[in-house]
Amino acid sequence: MLSSDDLRVFLGIIRTGSTVGAARRLGIDHSTVSRRLTALEHQLDIRLFDRSPRGLTATSAAGPLIAHAERIEKELIAAAMSVTGRATAPTGVVRLATPEIFGTWVVAPRMHQFRAQFPGLTLELAPESRSVSLSKREADVAIALRPPPRGRLVVRKMADYNIGLYGAKAYLERHGAVIEVDALREHCFVSYIDELLDYPEMNVLDTAVPGAISVFRSSSSAAQHAAIAAGLGLGMLHRLAADQDPRLQRILPTEINAERSYWLVMHADLQRDPRVRAVSEFLSEAVRECELRF
């Protein structure tokens, strides 16, 4: 019979990608994690992970075991609740993948609230400009810029948000105010690196300002914000961040505006996990607090 402790270790490795990460998440020694993984693979007589310098990658054989292990995990939590008569406070680690702006301006400033509400949870925030695979457990929860096309996923729209054209006030003082779209051809721009984006929705410059000449490109929205605020050129920025920066001024807000959406995504097997539910509730409240600034 399989050991529930071995399955906890298996899930820890799935969710972190390494024995070191699993040990940290589970609060046990790295050697214990390695020993339990070896024991599990020996008992099943199959390799569950491919080893590489970058960590552990689940093999195709590990896929079917994930769902069973997570069901057992949920049953053990439910068993504890049935005995105590109350829900225990969620504990453990949850990895959240978000676009950089959402993570920086929505999640991070409210982590003190999250910590006060869920002291037993550790949130790992991974700001990404690429899509992540929840089925491969690259994250437990994700904020996406479009609904995933397929998979056993639970998807819910969180909020709409706006992207506008901004420039530094100092830049506009040097080069003159922009009062019409045609005048934009005389300016330089900051934008994304197209090849490094899994979400074309993030790069709206080509549509908003056709023919714009980019003098600086970055996969980091924070780096673009910093370059524009320093006076390098103009660029498309998220209202949530740009409107709070006194160095910046919005340009042609009526003529140039792009609306996009944030989507909450989680694997169907995790939607009732107390850790994941806690993070989902926290994100919903954080979005409500920010909604007027989106």
- β-sheet bridge partners, residue 195: none
| Residue 40 Cα distances to 22, 46, 58, 222, 239, angstroms | 15, 9, 14, 43, 50
How distant is the alpha carbon of residue 15 from its chain centre? 14
Architecture of the 160-259 domain: 3-Layer(aba) Sandwich (3.40)
The single residue listed with the structure tokens 């330089």 is 188
Q: What percent of the chain has pLDDT over 90?
A: 43
176: left (phi over 0), alpha (psi -120 to 50) or beta: left
| pLDDT over 90 at 8, yes or no | no
- Reported as a single tens digit per residue, the pLDDT across 72-113 is 877 777 776 667 655 567 888 888 999 999 999 999 999 999
The reply to whether 160-259 shares the fold of 92-159+261-293 is yes
CA distance 109 to 86: 31
CATH topology for the 92-159+261-293 domain: D-Maltodextrin-Binding Protein; domain 2 (3.40.190)
CA distance 227 to 246: 14
**DSSP track, 114-159:** HHHH-TTEEEEEEE-SS---TTTTS-SEEEESS--SSSSEEEEEEE
CA distance 230 to 188: 13
Architecture of the 4-84 domain: Orthogonal Bundle (1.10)
Beta strand 153-168 with 121-127 is unpaired
125: left (phi over 0), alpha (psi -120 to 50) or beta: beta
Largest CA distance in the chain: 75
CA distance 288 to 264: 14
Q: The tokens of 137 are what?
A: 């457990």
**Residue that wins the pLDDT comparison between 149 and 246:** 246
Beta strand 153-168 with 234-238 is antiparallel
Domain boundaries, the chain: 4-84, 92-159+261-293, 160-259
- 56-65, 132-141, 151-160, 274-283: least confidently modelled range: 132-141
13 phi, psi to nearest 5 deg: -70, -40
Q: What is the mean pLDDT of the chain?
A: 87
Q: The tokens of 11 are what?
A: 């899930």
- Reported as a single tens digit per residue, the pLDDT across 65-77 is 887 887 887 777 7
- Reported as a single tens digit per residue, the pLDDT across 174-223 is 999 999 998 998 899 999 988 767 667 777 888 888 888 899 999 899 99
